[in-house]
């Protein structure tokens, strides 16, 4: 687990807390184009960039491994020269890139990028952080829950 890179992610999330970018954060999508039908979208809060992303999506953006596609979605850089792929990346690619950058084990990846009821082994966010996220009525509330989650993940060295 790379704590320095996790700290970069945490700093990015904190900077977004009081910005229009807060509406982008959505644990239900790695980095998809925003639509009014997007699962987990908060009504009335449209992300200005046209994209929603979870912690994995925010990780690749924070670490300059991707950028927002002009039509929405996250597009990973295809090589070290930062040449963009032609179309937005899919969730599995974003998840893999984020996990590699953060040097996470499979268990750590599941604990950071998923809620417990999303994985077979029931690895994911501790209940208190998941409830905080699910009960949030604003994008800032969701982002605050994610910030607290990442802080706890760092503090416990990825064990929780």
Q: What is the pLDDT of residues 47-89, one digit of tens each?
A: 767 677 889 999 999 999 999 888 888 988 875 555 556 677 7
Cα distance between residue 112 and residue 155, in whole Å: 13
CB 76 within 8 A of CB 62: no
- Per-residue pLDDT tens for 113-130? 999 888 777 889 999 999
Cα distance between residue 71 and residue 33, in whole Å: 7
| pLDDT at residue number 81 | 55
First to last CA, the chain: 13
DSSP H stretches of helix in the chain: 3-16, 55-62, 91-102, 106-113, 127-135, 139-155
| pLDDT at residue number 8 | 98
Who's near 69: CB < 8 A, 6+ residues apart?
33, 51, 75, 87, 88
pTM: 0.87
How far apart, in Å, are the Cα atoms of 5 and each of 35, 68, 94, 100, 119? Answer: 30, 20, 16, 11, 25
3 state DSSP class of 27:
coil
């690895």: which residue's tokens?
Answer: 123
**C-alpha radius of gyration, the chain, whole number:** 14
CB 85 within 8 A of CB 106: no
């Amino acid at each position: 687990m790379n704590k320095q890179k996790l700290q970069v992610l945490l700093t990015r999330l904190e900077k977004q807390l009081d910005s229009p970018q807060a509406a982008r954060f959505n644990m239900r999508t790695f980095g998809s184009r925003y639509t009014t039908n997007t699962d987990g979208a908060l009504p009335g809060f449209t992300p200005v960039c046209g994209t929603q992303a979870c912690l994995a999506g925010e990780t690749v953006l924070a670490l300059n491994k991707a950028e927002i596609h002009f039509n929405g979605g996250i597009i990973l850089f295809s090589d070290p020269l930062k040449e963009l792929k032609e179309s937005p990346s899919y969730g599995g690619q974003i998840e893999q890139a984020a996990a590699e950058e953060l040097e996470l084990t499979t268990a750590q990846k599941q604990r950071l990028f998923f809620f417990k009821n999303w994985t077979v082994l029931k690895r994911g966010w501790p209940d208190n952080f998941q409830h905080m996220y699910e009960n949030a009525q604003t994008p800032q509330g969701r982002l605050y829950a994610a910030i607290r989650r990442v802080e706890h993940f760092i503090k416990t060295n990825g064990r929780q």
